[in-house]
Structure 1
Amino acid sequence: MVAAFDGIPSLYIADGHHRAASAARARTEVSSRALAGASLGDGADASTMLAVAFPHDQVQILPYNRSVKDLGGLSSGEFLKAIAERFDLSPGPAMPARRGEIAMYFDGRWQTLRPRVPADPSDPIGALDVSVLQDQLLAPILKIADVRTDKRIDFVGGARGTGELQNLVDRGQAAVAFSLYPVGVADLIAVSGAGAIMPPKSTWFEPKLRDGLLIHLI
């Protein structure tokens, strides 16, 4: 098995980046303590971590969609006018048909948004639809600068479907919702190859391991 893994040129972390970073920090700390002569206990090994590896063609990436609670003080007309300055709008389906399109549910109907200024394809992050949505709509129009901390935005994993987005708006729990075309595995590899980090909440990976599948008593 070790020899088989030695033949794999690269492994990419698709999920669990924070856990991997914590494991790396723990390895550094434990190694420092060991060099200082500290006892680590029987069987302690900080050089390994638990992971499951999937071939790239057996991983499905679903979109991570967005809903926004309010329009940031804009009226419906002002909101649509601001969008029309940056995007071409037309009636469309709940799921974007292709990359470069964003589906928006607002005022009881789905519309397709296409940016008037296309993203730079040479920028692996800026070319992502999730970045276009953030850079051209969420930040400048709805004033959501950081999706990680702004309480006005919620994320809806692709496994929950676009019906959940529509329900949130129809029930008054959100003012507008956005459905994205899923990121491809090649996009993730390109971002990693550039030494960059994927935008927050940009991928929903399937399959996911069952919680409690592996348990280790401490």
Structure 2
Amino acid sequence: MPLIKPFAGLCPAPGRAAAVAAPPYDVMNAQEARTMVAGRPLSFLHISRPEVDLPPDTDPYAPAVYAKARENLERLCAEGVLVRDPTARYYCYRLTMGRQVQTGLVAAASVAAYDAGRIKKHEFTRPVKEDDRVRQIDVLNAQTGPAFLVYRATPGIDQVLTRVSVAAPEVDFTAPDGVRHELWAIADQPTIDGLTATFAALDALYIADGHHRSAAASRVAAARRAANPDHTGDEPYNWFLSVLFPHDQMQILPYNRLVRDLQGKTPETFLGQLADAFTITPAPGPIAPQGPGQFGMYLAGRWFRLDLNPARIPAADPVRRLDVSLLQDQVIGPLLGIADPRRDERIDFVGGIRGLGALQERVDSGELAVAFSLYPTPMDELMAVADLGEVMPPKSTWFEPKLADGLVSHCLD
């Protein structure tokens, strides 16, 4: 079974990439998106977050939102801002954020491999978010947000991407957040065939980020397959837009937690309950945990370092020994009453890129009662969990730098 295949991407016309490219749709709230598109009529946020072009009180899941996305996509195509490449190809994609450099491959990944578990997931999805991506793909008839996949570093693949990226890139710009994006098209058939075969020989790919996009692509494919009496398996809907990176180039930041209330407890009572499982040390400022089993907590205007009693860390369970699981099992579930963090509206998640100050600000504002900072989940642990067919708690990893939306889209016609 092939894991990936080339495709004719829908890309910005030469010189337009910097004006089109946008952060992923799910790393900002609606107000932030509206601010980001101000004065940027070509921003891909008009497609990925089309509510920015509708009244502020618009339900982001209303049919009018998806219709506006389609209208905006058609406008950018009609104006020649987005152009379909003439032949199927791969794309070499490099991201540079300070000292962090990662080079990967833009490709169409196999829905069949995803359904068979060869493209492995490590998180459950949130139903409302998955439904949203299904509607967006269906209305646009395109996948515009790539899934972020990881493969175990393979010298043959890395050598090809290194060779390709020696040439001048076709796209090269630095986004407002300081991340540099470079893109090279790979159109020669021998290189394409070699990459396809090398990836096909891999045991598996791993979803790093994009569980909702991947699950939505599978659902769309299943529906279209069922409605197509002439289905062959070669149709574009059998593949989903992806960017694949070697595991040893990844940078994972923590995914921190905030909770809206203490379930009726006073801060003093809550601290007393925590003392059963943790050594609690008051701190003069924000705590960035230095290793597994250590947490930072901001409560009632003060920072604390929490060190979990090692006896409470399961020795043999790769999921339950994750820091995100330990916090859920020792604190958020039993002490704060949040049994299902996928659905409970009392918990919120903040990517580590926003810094610890963002946690403190939201608690100080009165919006939330307590914040927890975590140690990042290592890449090896993510793959170990996925290899066992297990899943992590939601929002276990935050990868940086983020892929740009709009550089390459996968059309389903």
Separation in structure 2 between the aligned mates of residue 50 and residue 216 of structure 1, nearest angstrom: 6
Query: Is the deviation greater in 198-207 or in 176-185?
Result: 198-207
How far did 1:128 drift? 0.6
Separation in structure 1 between the aligned mates of residue 406 and residue 371 of structure 2, nearest angstrom: 33
Residue 160, structure 1, aligned to residue 351, structure 2: no
Question: Quick one: which amino acid aligns to residue 56 of structure 1?
Answer: H
2:345 to 136, 151, 162: 151
Superimposed CA distance per residue, residues 71-93 of structure 1 (whole angstroms, 9 cap, x where no aligned partner): 11001211111111121111345
Residue 81, structure 1, aligned to residue 272, structure 2: yes
Separation in structure 1 between the aligned mates of residue 207 and residue 198 of structure 2, nearest angstrom: 19
Counterpart of 2:51 in structure 1 is none
SS in structure 2 opposite 1:51? strand
Aligned length: 214
Distance 1:46 1:113, change over 3 A: same
Aligned positions of 1:201-212 closer than 5 A: 201-212=395-406
User: When you count strand as a share of all residues, which structure comes out higher?
Assistant: 2
Counterpart of 1:190 in structure 2 is 384
Counterpart of 1:4 in structure 2 is 198
Query: Is the deviation greater in 78-87 or in 91-100?
Result: 91-100
Question: Quick one: which amino acid aligns to residue 106 of structure 1?
Answer: L
Aligned positions of 1:74-153 closer than 5 A: 74-92=265-283, 93-116=286-309, 117-153=311-347
Separation in structure 2 between the aligned mates of residue 176 and residue 189 of structure 1, nearest angstrom: 31
Separation in structure 2 between the aligned mates of residue 18 and residue 100 of structure 1, nearest angstrom: 29
How far did 1:28 drift? 3.9
Residue 180, structure 1, aligned to residue 374, structure 2: yes
2:295 and 2:305 in contact (8 A); partners too: yes
SS in structure 2 opposite 1:12? strand
Separation in structure 1 between the aligned mates of residue 219 and residue 363 of structure 2, nearest angstrom: 42
Q: How big is the alpha-carbon RMSD for the aligned residues of Structure 1 and Structure 2? A: 2.1
Separation in structure 2 between the aligned mates of residue 31 and residue 177 of structure 1, nearest angstrom: 45
Superimposed CA distance per residue, residues 118-168 of structure 1 (whole angstroms, 9 cap, x where no aligned partner): 311311110011111111111111111111222221111111011100111
Structure 1 portions without partners, runs of 5+: none
Separation in structure 1 between the aligned mates of residue 218 and residue 301 of structure 2, nearest angstrom: 48
1:59 and 1:207 in contact (8 A); partners too: no
Query: Is the deviation greater in 7-16 or in 156-165?
Result: 7-16
How far did 1:31 drift? 4.1
Separation in structure 1 between the aligned mates of residue 329 and residue 410 of structure 2, nearest angstrom: 43
Percent identity of equivalent pairs:
50
Query: Is the deviation greater in 20-29 or in 90-99?
Result: 20-29
